[in-house]
Structure 1
């Protein structure tokens, strides 16, 4: 059976730096039936320089009046805000998650809030120092792979494995990361703790750029659980990803797509999130176990839809069955049509009325 897909409502920075809006996003995600609501934990000054440019989608959504650094400063939640949001998640019955963008934010999430899983955004897949610091917490990691090649994903896994398995006194190095991946026990550890998310880092992402088959490529290359972080419009692509084996779905959630901010336009609103969750659960139920046997619900319909051997005109006892008097008609509760040729030439043991089913 297909295991239950973990559905992450990506609140991200769609609170626009407002704790009250963050709390509303928690409620909306819980009402929609998501398993997790995820935020982002960062300090703008640790994340970007004053000269860092905005992405084109950010420019389109927020204009050019602010730099990326100024935009990020306006989107921060304080550590106390995060504690309040995590408490609201517990009260609403939904798991809290956040993507840390620096070691201090990660320490806060792990030590003060007590998160059970760490999420790494696509932009930090090549941030080896951060990956190493996160892995040393020994928690499961969900790693988005947008913009990445297989070689870059493999390199990131080497860093994470080093953080999980190497002695804290060991000197990190590219050679050390690569060597760990030669050990079978390393892959046992990675398979137990790391999930890879295929992702297209564009907001919104056009269907032609999504390439859902890359999930299978990741699965075949590394043998780890795979999922999909979706930036497409609408809700149909995540359901398709689940049909193709996604163990995790992540999708941006906003209270209103018309709000100012970088990610709102590529997000779905609460009613759409609820529809997406329902669609995914339907797909999970439809996937089944792969055995080609009648569903329990089908069995009563076999007699209605299938056919049996019948006399297509009156036949007297002692008369032989021929193509002129033997046929197949509904219902299918008698002799199966596969025996048609065996009955041709047989002698009727009793009289049969037209359209009467044959007896064995």
Structure 2
């Protein structure tokens, strides 16, 4: 059993603070200034990390989608050109890395192809994230396993058999798994949070939750069910253009989420029944018969 996994300076696992990830993804719309503001939001909220997406568009874009025309804020363009338009390269990620370090949060990304793994390794990320869409991309998983870095594996749109095959490649020594349902936005009846203890029992690694719902309740409930990490998309404004914005949390909502997670962590306790310090005054004032006296 892998009880804890170290990511950067943080320890992810039971008994540790929930590892909260603000997923920026591509909600920056190709603007480094927006990305930096979202890093600031995550840091102010008390999250430990932010996550991006890294693609080599010529490789990761499906062939039948490349020439598809798409309306964008920058005019109509092919889907491939759009992917390049919102993609950050080394200069931008160097700025992002420096800003994240200054704000005291980890940054990493979901690589969508093998060259992106190599790119992120050169950037010195502390961990890699496997997006739900990549669970069955075995060459990508092999490249990630070869880095020797901790891996965070999302499990949306996947069967148990597909997850088993991914874990066979990635191993469990440095693995954190996130229960996820890849519906955007996520309706409550598809959240299936009882998968968190199921995954924990099956794989014996830290299990977290990657949420795409509106609001905070489901993510907080995930922590109550044992999630050791929570990942949520964040945005400056849900009305911004982009496919992930509607399933994202705006700054105050994300701050509220992290606050509520920290409250729930304290409330979970250790499962040992005892008279709590705050109960002693009530016990003295209200209890008429104690066990010892009743037994005489």
Q: 1 CA distance for matches of 2:30 and 2:136? A: 27
Aligned position for 1:203: 184
Q: Is the 8 A contact 1:150 1:218 kept in 2?
A: no
Q: 2 CA distance for matches of 1:107 and 1:100? A: 9
Aligned position for 2:96: 85
Are 1:286 and 2:251 counterparts?
Answer: no
Q: 1 CA distance for matches of 2:239 and 2:103? A: 26
Q: 2 CA distance for matches of 1:119 and 1:340? A: 59
Q: Is the 8 A contact 2:106 2:126 kept in 1?
A: no
- When normalised by structure 2's length, the TM-score is 0.88
Q: Is the 8 A contact 1:50 1:68 kept in 2?
A: no
3-state SS, counterpart of residue 142 of structure 1: strand
- When normalised by structure 1's length, the TM-score is 0.73
Aligned position for 1:19: 32
Q: 1 CA distance for matches of 2:16 and 2:257? A: 17
CA drift at 1:208: 0.3
Are 1:264 and 2:245 counterparts?
Answer: yes
CA drift at 1:66: 5.4
Q: 1:237 aligns with which of 208, 213, 218?
A: 218
CA drift at 1:5: 0.8
When residues 195 and 105 of structure 1 are mapped into structure 2, their CA distance, relative to the original with a 3 A threshold, is: same
Number of equivalenced pairs? 280
Unaligned residue ranges in structure 2 (runs of 5+): 1-13
1:57-136 mapped onto 2 (5 Å cutoff): 68-111=79-122, 113-136=123-146
Aligned position for 2:9: none
Q: Is the 8 A contact 1:50 1:67 kept in 2?
A: no
Are 1:212 and 2:193 counterparts?
Answer: yes
Q: 1:153 aligns with which of 163, 173, 184?
A: 163
When residues 125 and 296 of structure 1 are mapped into structure 2, their CA distance, relative to the original with a 3 A threshold, is: same
Q: 2:49 aligns with which of 36, 54, 65?
A: 36
Bigger relative contact order, structure 1 or 2 (CA pairs below 8 A, ≥6 apart):
2
Q: 1 CA distance for matches of 2:93 and 2:272? A: 46
Aligned position for 1:297: 278
Aligned position for 1:45: 58
CA drift at 1:69: 3.0
CA drift at 1:45: 1.5
Unaligned residue ranges in structure 1 (runs of 5+): 54-58, 162-189, 309-335, 343-360
When residues 42 and 31 of structure 1 are mapped into structure 2, their CA distance, relative to the original with a 3 A threshold, is: same
When residues 31 and 197 of structure 1 are mapped into structure 2, their CA distance, relative to the original with a 3 A threshold, is: same
Aligned position for 1:274: 255
When residues 60 and 341 of structure 1 are mapped into structure 2, their CA distance, relative to the original with a 3 A threshold, is: farther
Larger relative strand fraction: 2
Q: Is the 8 A contact 1:102 1:130 kept in 2?
A: yes
Q: 2 CA distance for matches of 1:205 and 1:42? A: 25
Q: Is the 8 A contact 2:196 2:207 kept in 1?
A: yes
